[in-house]
Structure 1
Amino acid sequence: MSPPFSPILSVQPTRALVDEKLKVVVENLPPGSPVTLHSLHHSEDEDYWEAYGHYVSDFRGIVSVAEDLSFGGTYTGKEDMGLLWSMRPVPGSRKGLRLRKMNICSPLLFNISVYSGHVTEGFREETPLTSALIERWYMAPGVKRIDIRERGVRGTLFIPPGPGPFPGLLDMWGGGGGLIEYRSALLASHGYVSLAMDYFRSQELESAELEFKYFETAFNIIKEHPQVNPDRVGIFGLSLGSLVTMHVAAESTIVKPRCCICVSGSHFYPHDRTLKEVIMEPMTNSHRVRVDENNHHIWRDLWKELLSDPSKKVDVGKINCPILLVNGQDDQNAPADECAEDIAHLMNAAGNGHLLTRVLYPDTGHLIEPPYSPHCRASNFRVAAVAEKTVTLLWGGQTKPHSDAQEDSWKKILSFLQQNLYSSTSPRAKL
């Protein structure tokens, strides 16, 4: 039986970048009416993800997600973006899932619905009072996507709309390998020519020397692009990509990044070993890997042991550009907070500590993604160096503080890039 009212759902904007906020309002409800707002996403992996909040309409018959409290659901309190960041696999889903967008030429689609009463399960079997479909994009209109197969480098280049010249970024992900494009697409949407680089598949990189030259070549491909300002090129790395970022910034005689961003990273890099050999460390020393009560692998302690061995670390005292470290205190994959402390100590001792900016977030794990991405505490992980080896890694973090950290750190990252790649002056090392 239909309710004696017709609620009106407004979700604005209906099409936006993933880091833009939503305004969700339901009108024309009876005053004091309990309702559930629900979001549903069907992933590229054919899995369903959902989030929901329980609300009560005010005296005008209105619910505003930005202004009203959620009294229950996957998030509580006044959370304007809770319908996105608190998403989780629907009950009965496969284990170890992580939501990531691989085809950035299409949007993430979310169905926002309103249900009568405070519903906690069986959403797909219930008929909503009203629904709206929204699009969330990593790639803004006008951004160009170009496959790169040049000088042995494989990746994807994203170029902002307009003639340029623009600042440039070399963008590197972690030990899972593959070509991950979504952060580069989002960076291009904010005005940076960004090269998402695949650096694990190449069979030619069988020595540390060849591997190092690969990163230098990739940096120069960006630097030499006609739409890039060659004096304003930085490096952005997450996890293993952060390790590479620091290594190249410290040791290269031809690559001079204007700035570096390292998210959830360490500075462990034995100079005579390839990255595949480095990432094999947990596999060859599995007896030192801890597991939690769910048999999720915890790698942070294994890497932590290397802090006392200077031969296993990047000489960060050689870095002569501004560097931003973004880490979580509950990172269970790498001792990122301890590494940040050690990096600060080493840089201060070398006289370049003024170039270092550190941001540390409590109850935040390893996978610090662009804002409003669902928090992933643990997921299946295929080690790129061992194609047949898959484990479930504990990344860490608690959903609400981790999500807050993703939003805050992205603002700080964009501000850091603006200051160092767009402004007329940025700090350098004291010569």
Structure 2
Amino acid sequence: MVASSGAILRASGLGRRGLLPGSPKLWHGGRVSGALARKTLTWSLEPAGRCGWDEPVRIAVRGLAPRQPVTLRASLRDEKGALFRAHARYEADAGGLLDLERAPALGGSFVGLEPMGLLWALEPEKPLVRLVKRDVQAPFAVELEVLDGHEPDAGRVLGRTVHERDFLRPGVRREPVRAGRVRATLFLPPEPGPFPGIVDIYGVGSGLLEHRASLLAGKGFAVMALAYYNYEDLPKGLEILHLEYFEEAVNYLLDHPQVKGPGVGLLGSSKGGDLCLSMASFLKGITATVLVNGSVANVGGALHYKDEILPPLGLDPNRVRLTKDGLADIVDVLNSPLEGADQKSFIPVERAESAFLFLVGQDDHNWKSEFYANEASKRLQAHGKKKPEIICYPETGHYIEPPYFPLCRASLHILVGGPVIWGGESRAHATAQVDAWKQLQTFFHKHLVGKS
């Protein structure tokens, strides 16, 4: 089915999460030093303490003056020291309470009722930096501050607190995998197994990213984050990839005593998407495949499997356009996989026995993800296969991550050798990520567990 997205985006709204107003649990927060109108300022975070990165948190401040104008600021540093910031202007209610579930932002990094805006609106202090979690065993620490008045004329800091957001839920097991040629990390839920298994593959330049796999393991899946180049003793480049490597990873997962068969799922983003599509098309044991802004053609380098070779899709660098900021827009660079010799790069999806879900950002500027999803659907149906699910999100860019990761507007593209734009508008992209996270879990439950 093809779902459109205006309804999905409205239905998935970020502002509907959290406890009902007035819940007694809301006010389990820490006191912060600072006084105003002889009241003690108190931060209230629900859930209190650490929570998962993909979980909403209810943020409130009490002890303000009635109708007091304040500015809230959020900041975090990644493992490399890059600083990300967001801020918004608010007004306390008549009782001196500021509850982000109820109070709209009056300006700043975002406007309107956006309870999680201080996270999804984070922007890097230095341009062209993408927020990436490299060590899932340590949380991200988000510093929250409340200032008197409205920026840019805000006064003193009235109070601050630190909110920790975790990637490894209590009890989730992290197991490095060095089996044969396979270089990966396996995450297992805390409950007794076996569990439905998923292979998780990211795009170029990733090395081994574990954050999505670790979060999914907290939802009841055994998830293997798989590296495929530029990591430890794996090949340094993408010029030639062998599908036998990925077959070895699938077989490792299928043979694992904590993994429930008879098949496994695949989750791939960007270049990882077309790799997952090739795996589903050539390999056995693939039951469900989710592609997040993936290609229907093999991209980047030749893909070998036994006596077959899929050549990389051709490209024309002359089709690169420059934005007014001097960044590259590469959305039109790749050739069409429907024409001439480039048809040989089209992945033979008709061979697949897997169910498919395509999650598409309609403002993806890396390549034409919506076109690729539709062409895959046409090819599957032309060969008597079931029509795949396609969910399209307007104003959504290339990097569709788990909820509350901020939009990456532009960063270095390792294959281009320079900075490119990725597309997307912050609020729409954030809303899409919340819905996509739900959709892929529902899809895997349906096809790997047998229930939605």
Fold shared per TM-score above 0.5: yes
Q: Distance in 2 between matches of 1:207 and 1:190?
A: 36
1:45 aligned to which of 64, 67, 80: 80
Take 1:25 and 1:184, find their aligned partners in 2: how far apart are those partners?
Answer: 31
Measured on the aligned residues, the alpha-carbon RMSD in Å equals 2.4
Task: List alignment gaps of at least 5 residues for structure 1.
Answer: 384-388, 427-431
Residue 305 of structure 1 and its aligned partner are, at CA, apart by 2.7
- Deviation per residue, 1:289-314 (Å, 9 max, x gap): 22222222222212253343432201
Find the counterpart in structure 2 of residue 114 from structure 1: 146
* Cα separation, 2, equivalents of 1:270 and 1:379: 20
Alignment-derived partner of residue 347 in structure 1? 380
Structure 2 residue aligned with 1:9: 43
1:266 CA drift (Å): 0.8
Deviations 1:303-349 (A, max 9, x none): 25334343220112222221110011110001001111111111111
SS at match of 1:416: helix
The 5-angstrom pairing of residues 27-426 of structure 1 reads: 27-89=62-124, 93-120=125-152, 127-201=156-230, 202-203=234-235, 211-252=242-283, 255-269=284-298, 273-274=302-303, 285-308=316-339, 309-354=342-387, 356-383=388-415, 390-423=417-450
Match of 1:20 in 2: 55
User: How big is the shift at 1:415?
Assistant: 1.2
- Partner deviation per Cα, 1:163-201 (whole Å, 9 max, x = no partner): 200011111000124111111111111111111111013
User: Which digits, 9 at most, give the CA deviation of each residue in 1:269-297, with x for residues without a partner?
Assistant: 2899149x977966xx4333222222222
For residues 305 and 326 of structure 1, what CA distance do their matches in structure 2 show? 20
Q: How far has the Cα of 1:95 moved from its partner? A: 2.5
The residue aligned with 1:386 is none
Distance 2:406 2:338 in 1: 31
> How has the CA–CA distance of structure 1 residues 25 and 205 changed in structure 2, closer, same or farther, with 3 Å as cutoff?
closer
Q: State the distance in 2 between where 1:69 and 1:31 align.
A: 16
Farther off after superposition, 411-420 or 163-172: 411-420
Kindly tell me: are residues 52 and 270 of structure 1, through their superposed partners in 2, closer, same or farther at Cα, counting changes over 3 Å?
closer
Instruction: State the one-letter code of the partner of 1:313.
Output: F
> Equivalent residue of 1:180, what SS?
coil
TM-score (norm 1): 0.89
CA distance in 2, matches of 1:109, 1:41: 6
Give 2:347's aligned amino acid: V
Once the two structures are TM-superposed, the CA of residue 207 in structure 1 deviates from its matched residue by 8.4
- Is the 8 Å Cα contact of residues 96 and 380 (structure 1) preserved in structure 2? yes
* Letter aligned with residue 321 of structure 1: S
Assess if the C-alpha contact under 8 Å between 2:313 and 2:335 holds in 1: no
Question: Which structure has the highest strand share of the two?
Answer: 2
SS in 2 for 1:7: strand
Alpha-carbon shift at residue 28 of structure 1 (Å): 1.8
Residue 429 (structure 1) aligns with: none
Provide the C-alpha distance between the structure 2 equivalents of 1:303 and 1:226, rounded to a whole number of angstroms. 42
Q: Is the 8 A contact 1:73 1:120 kept in 2?
A: no
The residue identity in structure 1 corresponding to 2:58 is K
**In structure 2, what is the Cα distance between the partners aligned to 1:96 and 1:270?**
24
Contact 1:11–1:132, Cα closer than 8 Å, also in 2: no
Q: Partner of 1:259: helix, strand, or coil?
A: strand
State whether residues 205 and 211 of structure 1, in contact with CA within 8 Å, keep that contact through their aligned partners in structure 2.
no
Percent pairwise identity: 32
TM-score (structure 2 length as normaliser): 0.85
